[in-house]
Amino acid sequence: MPVLHQRQGVRGVSHIAIACGLSSKLFLNNFIGVLKPLGKRSASCLVMEHTLTSSEALDFFLHYKIGEQKQRTSNRVAISRSIRILETTSRRHGLEPSVLEDLLRVVVKDTFTCQMRHRLVKCLIPTSVVSRNAPVIAVASLCTETLPPTLQVLLVQWLILVFDLVDNKSDFHCLYEMIFYLVQFDNLSPYVCHLLYLLTRRKDVKRFRVQKLLRIMSAQGSNPQLHLQGLLSLYKTYRPEYVSLSVPSDVRRYFPSVNRAWAQLINLIQVKHSVKCGIQRQVAPQGAGVLEKRLSRKRERDLAPVAYSQGLSTGPPARESSSGLHLDDVWELLGSPDDVDMTDGLSSLFGSPFTLCRLSCSMDDVKRMRIDYSVDHVLQHEFWNDVTTPRTLRVQEEFLDGVVRAQDILKECLPGIEHFLSRWLHVWDGETLRLQTLNLLAQVPLCESSELKRKFLRPLSLLMMTSSIHLKCAVLKSLQQLLLNWQTRDLPKLQTQLMSPDNLDDQGGVEARDAVVAVISFVDEISNVVLQQEGYSALLIHVLLSFYQTAGELWPRLLDNIMIMPDCMIYPSFLTYDPSCLNRLCQILCSYRDNIIAAKSDAALQSRHAPGKLSMALHTHNTVVQRMMGCIWKGLAFHGNQGLGCFVDSSLQSTSSFCLYLTCHPALLGFAIGYVDATFGRSENLFKDLERIKGPEIERFLQYLDEQGVASLPLLLQKTIRKSKSSRRPVNPLGSHCDSG
């Protein structure tokens, strides 16, 4: 009774003190004098109670050292006060992750008595999440056997209770083997089994673990070990082939219950916390705790099937979704190529490039069909039923990106994709899923030309007529990629077929080549229209030139089809202001020339060619080069049959023939002036200066062009102009014109 009186008395006094604005310490010092008759001990505890805040109580535990405090009695009192305050605080608000971790470190050290450490463990109530280190500390201490047995049990119980709140369980999961080691201890076994039950993923189920559990079970004798059975039943679910034991299914509860009041307390703090920052969490759920899991469960379904299930009951499952299917890096793949599980949904592997790699090595018809069917199912049905919202669009984008990546790795086009694309292109607006559509287009197999035209090229031509220059360029780029893909993916297969003499007339090979020709002729046809539509934009010319460059590289491999760029493509890129266009044109013409020469000299190739086709290609090439040389070298741009004379009216033919001469060509004029500046310096009359580039200066000017990056034009000149004395010194038409004028 007297104690009660004292307390009430002092409380009342402290209220007064605060009310009066006095320093409470000073006040109490005076007050202790009043209370002296009650004994020193009581007085000091009163002081403690009033000066300690929760953070001070915490500091007390964190920085406590044995022997620091001299008086044992006051020491004990301080501890008991601090723990009381800590208990109240943690029960009211919980502890922050970092604080929790620090306090756990205190618990596992043997600074305090066992009873005190018990109370401290009970204080470990997390406000939000438990840091990833905390379970590591706890498990590490469990393995050292320095903890008293009861405390060990309590710590495991705590781990079970806060399991869902652990932030990032990867570290925790690494300790699986260490926790499993604890199963053999009788007092810990039930709780450790429960913890393992929560922690187990499929890859943890190993034969030796099952054996060990069975051994422990048989050692225990006849009394039923429900917790071991519980863990085994989970193992059996994951790997039925490892556990032949029949597990009773009518068991209501496998594991002993953990202190209910404690569990409720932890839940209560969580609920409070989630109410407090619920909205904040939903915006940025970085703290990967239970909340995030719940949110992610509500996520809209993915189009690609999920590899593992999420449980039948509505309550949130405690385990992380186990995914033995997905490899994180290439080392994991190289380390265990046979461990990659491919029994379940194959198309769920689209997200994992390494697993796809593994799949591509062991592809067979059944696997291919499994992927085909499921991709087809998604594309044909689910894809079209959805009304387009930004969200579904994003899901669709992700799915198609996955398909593009998978096709890239598997090096083949899935039939479902081909079918989908042929339908999709007919209704495509050129905007929705543009990147994905074009990527898919680049992976279409080139098999039959008529099919190709009907399914893909016709809708594309309609689209290109009515779209912006950017879409035109993008479509041309993806057609170029299509040829490249064909070259790297299908051509090697085809060539091995063709090289063996039995398969010379292989239908597939002929069809594929026809399809390539169909693509190139499609671009031939469309280029005229789109160039006119876009006013011969340099961008479009460049994109088209890239396409023809790729097409030109296919030449020697296509064997009996040599296709020269159409006129509508050659002349615009010749009559351009852009030196790089001219340069690339010359480059392509050079490669044409090399290829024709190679084809003519190689008897085997020549015999394969239809004779008319090669000579026709040669004729076309020669005409083009002749006309270009007429303009650039002879300076007879519109003169009779020379140069481009055949394209213009006869009344205009004699005028300005020199305008496309080497030094006056709109694309090269800038270089000529630069050359003049660099060599002789510019005078007042620019014409006279340009006139000076003749004779040996021409060679030097060509060299100058070469240095300036226009390398292919000198190369073409070198290859086509015969090196006789007469042609080495051409008449400088500019000079003659100036002279006559």
Partner 1 sequence: YFCFLKAMKSLTKKHFHAYRVSPLCMFSYPRLQHYAQMLETFLTAEVKCAGDPTTNSGFHTNISVFPGLATGQRDPEAILIQIFCKQEQKRPAWEGLLCSVEPEPSYLTVCMPFVLLPLLLVHGPKKFTTAWKTWFERTFDCCVSPLVIPSYELAWMAALWAGAMSVPRTLDLQWSSPPPVSDGLHITMSVNRNDALRLWDCVHTSGEEEVGLFKQGLEEHIFHHFHVILDAMILESVSSGVASANNSGHIKVLFHKPLVHILVASSYLLDILIPTKGS
Whichever of 286 and 466 has its CB closer to partner 1, that residue is: 466
Neighbour count for residue 155 (Cβ, 10 Å): 25
Please give the structure tokens belonging to residue 318: 């405690």
Amino acid of residue 181: Y
**453 near partner 1, judged by CB under 8 A:** no
Beta-carbon contacts of residue 661 (< 8 Å; ≥ 6 apart): 631, 632, 635, 637, 732, 733, 734
Residues 474 to 503 in contact with partner 1, rule: CB under 8 A: none
Please give the structure tokens belonging to residue 396: 């669709």
**174 near partner 1, judged by CB under 8 A:** no
The mark string for 185-224 relative to partner 1 (x by CB under 8 A, - otherwise) is -------------x--------------------------
**148 near partner 1, judged by CB under 8 A:** no
3-state secondary structure of 724: coil
Q: How far is the CB of 506 from partner 1 (least distance, A)?
A: 23
**Stretch of 107-115, 138-146, 184-192, 421-429 contacting partner 1, by CB under 8 A:** 421-429
Q: Rounded to an integer, what distance in angstroms lies between the CA atom of residue 150 and that of residue 156?
A: 10
**20 near partner 1, judged by CB under 8 A:** no
**419 near partner 1, judged by CB under 8 A:** yes
From the list 42, 74, 274, 432, which residue makes contact with partner 1 (rule: CB under 8 A)?
432
CB environment 666-690: b (16+ within 10 A), e (fewer): ebbbebbeebbeeeeeeeeeeeebb
**244 near partner 1, judged by CB under 8 A:** no
**527 near partner 1, judged by CB under 8 A:** no
**690 near partner 1, judged by CB under 8 A:** no
Q: Rounded to an integer, what distance in angstroms lies between the CA atom of residue 272 and that of residue 302?
A: 32
**633 near partner 1, judged by CB under 8 A:** no
Neighbour count for residue 98 (Cβ, 10 Å): 11
Per DSSP, 130 falls in state B
**461 near partner 1, judged by CB under 8 A:** no
From the list 345, 556, 666, 730, which residue makes contact with partner 1 (rule: CB under 8 A)?
345
Q: In the Cβ-directed half-sphere of 406, how many Cα atoms lie within 13 Å?
A: 25
Q: Rounded to an integer, what distance in angstroms lies between the CA atom of residue 349 and that of residue 368?
A: 13
**233 near partner 1, judged by CB under 8 A:** yes
**Stretch of 12-20, 125-133, 246-254, 672-680 contacting partner 1, by CB under 8 A:** 246-254
Query: Are 42 and 5 contacting, i.e. CB atoms less than 8 angstroms apart?
Result: no
Whichever of 364 and 739 has its CB closer to partner 1, that residue is: 364
Q: How far is the CB of 564 from partner 1 (least distance, A)?
A: 37
DSSP string, 325-340: T---SHHHHHH-TT--
**364 near partner 1, judged by CB under 8 A:** no
The mark string for 296-335 relative to partner 1 (x by CB under 8 A, - otherwise) is ---------x---xxxxxxxxxxx----------------
**388 near partner 1, judged by CB under 8 A:** yes
For residue 305, give the nearest of 230, 377, 225, 200 by alpha carbon: 377
Q: Number of residues in contact with partner 1, rule: CB under 8 A?
A: 54
**382 near partner 1, judged by CB under 8 A:** yes
Per DSSP, 559 falls in state -
From the list 101, 167, 204, 376, which residue makes contact with partner 1 (rule: CB under 8 A)?
376
Q: Rounded to an integer, what distance in angstroms lies between the CA atom of residue 659 and that of residue 632?
A: 9
Measured between its terminal Cα atoms, the distance across the chain in Å is 132
Whichever of 294 and 729 has its CB closer to partner 1, that residue is: 294
**723 near partner 1, judged by CB under 8 A:** no
Amino acid of residue 451: E
Neighbour count for residue 275 (Cβ, 10 Å): 9
Neighbour count for residue 8 (Cβ, 10 Å): 10
**246 near partner 1, judged by CB under 8 A:** no
Q: How far is the CB of 241 from partner 1 (least distance, A)?
A: 13
Residues that bind partner 1 (CB under 8 A): 198, 230, 233-234, 237, 240, 249-255, 305, 309-319, 344-346, 366, 369-370, 372-374, 376-378, 380-382, 384-388, 415-416, 419, 423-424, 427-429, 432
